[in-house]
Structures are given as structure tokens and as C-alpha cells.
Amino acid sequence: MEIIHVSAECYPVAKAGGLGDVVGALPKYQRQLGHVAKVVMPMYRTKFLLANEWDVVHKGYTHLGNWWFNYTVIKEKTNKLGFDLYLVDINGVLDREKVYGYDDDIERFVAFQVSVADWLVAWKHRPDIVHVHDHQAALIPFFFKYCHAYQSLADIPTVLTIHNAQYQGWMGWDKSTYIPAYDTWKTGMLGWGNAINSLGSGIKCAWKVTTVSPTYLEEMRSNANGLEALLEYEKGKCSGILNGIDNLVWDPSTDGYFEDHFTIETVEEGKRKNKELLCQRFQLDPKKPLITFIGRLVGEKGADLLPQAIEDSFYYVGRRMNFLILGSGFPDVEGRLNAMKGLSRGDYNVYIGYDEALSHLMYAGADYILMPSRVEPCGLNQLYALRYGTIPVVRNTGGLHDTVLDYGDKNGYGIRFNHASVGDMTHGIWRAVEMYQQSEKVKEIRQHIMQLDFSWESSVKSYMQLYESIK
């Protein structure tokens, strides 16, 4: 079967979060099963672009409303990632350093999708499935079904995966001219809640819709940033498929980002060495448990609760642990976390920014990873942490509910708390510190969690079954 993935991110080409990890891994595992998987994404100005060689495969000319533009599709020459990788270049629009965060993001990603559809028509090539990811690619099912110029693609089955329903690609109806000419009586298939809603349109028009964990799918029926009723209405075509992790990239015995590799047999020594490195670099105390947070410093991740929960932990649990935070996001949260460095007695530090190498070292050297998420569609951090023998302390929601069992329960190994509140998080931290005193228990849990299988091998089969059902 041939699948074309369309996405704004794909690791290691460009990644801002879990979407990049998933789109970098899923096609690779589909190839391993003998299928043909391709990825199409925007051409940003990234290291990966400059470090590799490319063939031009198509040049086209299309438009967004009155604005006509040239686009070029290039393909990586050597199939380095294990699948065909195509980048769409729109001069001055997509070729920027960051993936998101520009005032014209709407125009950028609609122009990207229009170019993809335009190219597929010109290519006269018929994949079995077009799999679109998140709102930056979610207008494509509408384009295929209802835009006059793309009618030759109308019978290609489309799948939309929602990695995060918080962001939906909203635009006012004044921007409807961006949508290539369509049957106006189908306008309703574009909108939701008085605006064009790219993700909402994708949910209406894609042949199948998936979310990245079964529990998130359930939760979205009551909490999906305004899309609840739509998801309830479309529930017949929705399913939840848990993300996997790329065991080739995320392997503590071979990880290219740090030197002190370890296996299940050497986990104690390996984690100790990596922890010492981290503690030295961030002036922390290696004798105390190291509790980390890695991620976007936004409300969704419960990052705003961190400063108070850390202060309360120091006050109520005592200065019996270290905290190390890696992330960037809301300036207010960044500022508060930075200011707290003044309170450190060699037991707190924060690195504001995005640093792939540091994140790998933290998974390897930490004792615990904290995830107080308000919303967590799947969550990859806890899966990486498990593979690296780091015990997750998580809020019981979405994918965290599906992947972390509390160590107080049968076969459990992590720490779960129910509310995204300072009190519940502090209690979770207290439990982690208490657990750490029982070194034999910690050893046993580390060995157990490193053996848990959250690889793509099983999830990829669920996607293949889904494709089969609509092919």
C-alpha cells in the first residue's frame, strides 16, 4: 500500500513537539512492513535542509486568493530517513527558521496545502491513502472532495490524525478566498463556530479521523476547545491509536546525544553517571532525587503550576530533591521559573529554550519526569522516560492515563495524580521523594519500565488496518 503523509513537522527535518516525532517514525515503520510511505512537508530553513542534497521534482504556479505564487517540490536524494521525503518551497513564505510563530502562519500553511494538492494533480500519481496531520494539513480532505481543480483526487481516501485539538487553524470568513474555487453550497464543510476551522473541516471531510490515544478521544467529547459536539456527531469514523516511540532513535544503549550508554543490566550505573553530569552542569546535588520537566511552558502542560508546586514542595516536603526544568513558552512562566533560581540551594535550575541533546541527557540522568498536563493527547515524554528508566509522575489524563499505571496499583510503576493543581502535584512529588528512599523498589521499577513495549510495531498495525478499511 502507498501512503503519503502531509505534515508541518517531521523529525529530524523540523520538530517543535510530538507531531515531529510521530511523522518521523510512523512512515519508517510502515516501510518496514513492506509498504510505501512518503512524507510531504514545508521547506523551512533548517540544518537538515542545508546538510543534504535534493532533486527538484516539480515546479508549479498557483494562488491564494489574488496572490499568485511559484512553488517548488524537492526530494531528498538518498532516502536517508528510510522513506521518500518531499519538501515544498514557497519563496519567502515557508523558508524560515522556525516552524510556527509568524503573523502569517495561516497564509503559510494554506499556501502549503494548496501547493500539495496542485502538485498531486500534476503528478498524476495515485497513492492509496493521503494521511494528513493536525490543522496545518487538515484542509486537504475538503480540497480533494469539493475544490474544482482537484476533482481528480476526490476518490483518494484521506485520514486525519489529531495530535492536538487545542490548535485548529481558525480564520475569518474574509479569508475564504484562500480556499481554491469550490461548490459554495459546501461552505458548511469548512466552518465551525462562525469561522473557517481547518481542523473542524478535516473532521467533517476526512474519511477517517484518529486521535493519538484512546482516552484522549473519549475526553475530547467533553473537552476539545469547542469541537466537542462535532466529534460527538462524527464519532462513527473516529478512533484512538496510541503513538509509539521510535526505538531506533530513543535507545539508551546507543543514543547519539550522550556518552554513558546503558541497558537494563547497567541501568543503575548508567543513570548515576548521566545524573552526575547533569548535576555538575546545573549545580545540583546528585545525592538527592532528580525531578525534571521537559516541554512547552504552556497551560496545556500545566507549566504555570510548576513554580508554586516547586516552592510548596521545598516548604512542605523539605529540601530533599532537585528540580531541573527544560522548556520555553509563556514569557510569564519563563520569567517566574528563571526568578526562582535565586531560591536555589543547589537543588533547582531551569534552562529556557529548546535543546534536543539536553532533553536526551535529562531522560537518561533523571530519576523522575513530571507531567502535570491539563490536556495530553498522547504524550511522548513519559514513553521516552520509561525507556530510559525514568519514573513518570503524571496527571491522570489522556495518553498519560493509557500509559502510566500507579505503583500503588497492580503491576504499577509510576505516580499518578488526579487534578492539575498545585496541591495534587506537590503530593505526587512527595510520593516520588518517599519512593526514592526505597532504593530496591526503585531499582526494580527501573528494570520493569525499561522493558515495557511502547514501540511503533503494534501501533503501526492499527493504522494499516484502518487504511485497509477504506482503501
Judged on CB neighbours under 10 Å (0-12, 13-18, 19+), 65 is middle
Nearer to ligand ADP, 73 or 99 (CB): 99
Under rule CB under 6 A, how many of the chain's residues touch ligand ADP?
A: 19
Question: Least Å distance between CB 89 and ligand ADP?
Answer: 25
295 forms part of the interface with ligand ADP (CB under 6 A): yes
354 forms part of the interface with ligand ADP (CB under 6 A): yes
Length of the chain counted residue by residue: 471
381 forms part of the interface with ligand ADP (CB under 6 A): yes
Phi then psi for 345, rounded to 5 degrees? -115, 55
Q: Which of 355, 412, 462, 470 lies at the binding interface for ligand ADP (CB under 6 A)?
A: 355
The C-alpha atoms of residue 175 and residue 195 are separated, in whole angstroms, by 10
294 forms part of the interface with ligand ADP (CB under 6 A): yes
Q: List C-alpha distances in Å: 378 to 73, 132, 359.
A: 32, 17, 18
Q: Residue 134 corresponds to which amino acid?
A: D
Q: Which of 237, 296, 319, 419 lies at the binding interface for ligand ADP (CB under 6 A)?
A: 296
- 151 to 180: interface string for ligand ADP, x by CB under 6 A: -------------x----------------
Residues 6+ apart with CB under 8 A from 284: 278, 290, 322, 324, 346, 347, 348, 349
Q: Among 306-314, 333-341, 372-380, 433-441, which window interacts with ligand ADP (CB under 6 A)?
A: 372-380
359 forms part of the interface with ligand ADP (CB under 6 A): yes
Question: Least Å distance between CB 114 and ligand ADP?
Answer: 26
Nearer to ligand ADP, 270 or 398 (CB): 398
Nearer to ligand ADP, 23 or 40 (CB): 23
Question: Least Å distance between CB 295 and ligand ADP?
Answer: 5
Contact criterion met (CB below 8 Å) for 8 and 21: no
The C-alpha atoms of residue 14 and residue 201 are separated, in whole angstroms, by 25
Phi then psi for 329, rounded to 5 degrees? 165, -125
100 forms part of the interface with ligand ADP (CB under 6 A): no
Q: List C-alpha distances in Å: 3 to 6, 41, 212.
A: 10, 14, 18
17 forms part of the interface with ligand ADP (CB under 6 A): yes
Residue 347's nearest CA partner among 379, 366, 319 is: 319
Cross-strand partners of 2: 36
Nearer to ligand ADP, 72 or 381 (CB): 381
Question: DSSP string of 119-173?
Answer: HHHHHT---SEEEEESGGGTTHHHHHHHBGGGGGGTTS-EEEEES-TT---EE-G
Measured at the CA of 259, the angle between CA 255 and CA 261, to 5 degrees, comes to 60
Instruction: For residue 388, give the DSSP letter.
Output: T
The C-alpha atoms of residue 226 and residue 220 are separated, in whole angstroms, by 9
Grid cell of 168 as nine digits: 485548529
Question: How distant is the alpha carbon of residue 441 from its chain centre?
Answer: 32
Q: Which residue is nearest to ligand ADP (CB)?
A: 18
Residues 6+ apart with CB under 8 A from 205: 141, 142, 144, 145, 146, 158, 189
The C-alpha atoms of residue 353 and residue 332 are separated, in whole angstroms, by 14
Q: Among 18-26, 43-51, 124-132, 305-313, which window interacts with ligand ADP (CB under 6 A)?
A: 18-26
Nearer to ligand ADP, 3 or 242 (CB): 242
Q: Among 13-21, 74-82, 175-183, 218-226, which window interacts with ligand ADP (CB under 6 A)?
A: 13-21
Q: Which of 18, 27, 127, 240 lies at the binding interface for ligand ADP (CB under 6 A)?
A: 18
Nearer to ligand ADP, 142 or 384 (CB): 384
Q: Among 116-124, 177-185, 220-228, 379-387, which window interacts with ligand ADP (CB under 6 A)?
A: 379-387
Nearer to ligand ADP, 200 or 398 (CB): 398
- 323 to 352: interface string for ligand ADP, x by CB under 6 A: ---xxx------------------------
Q: Which of 369, 380, 429, 433 lies at the binding interface for ligand ADP (CB under 6 A)?
A: 380
Question: Least Å distance between CB 23 and ligand ADP?
Answer: 11
Nearer to ligand ADP, 99 or 147 (CB): 99
Q: Among 54-62, 281-289, 290-298, 414-422, which window interacts with ligand ADP (CB under 6 A)?
A: 290-298
356 forms part of the interface with ligand ADP (CB under 6 A): yes
379 forms part of the interface with ligand ADP (CB under 6 A): yes
Question: DSSP string of 23-87?
Answer: HHHHHHHHHHTT-EEEEEEE----HHHHHS-EEEEEEEEEEETTEEEEEEEEEETT-TTSSEEEE
The C-alpha atoms of residue 85 and residue 10 are separated, in whole angstroms, by 9
136 forms part of the interface with ligand ADP (CB under 6 A): no
60 forms part of the interface with ligand ADP (CB under 6 A): no
* Sheet strands side by side (includes 290-297): 348-352, 322-329, 290-297, 368-371, 391-395, 415-417
21 forms part of the interface with ligand ADP (CB under 6 A): yes
Give the binding site for ligand ADP (CB under 6 A).
Answer: 17-19, 21, 164, 294-296, 326-328, 354-356, 359, 378-381
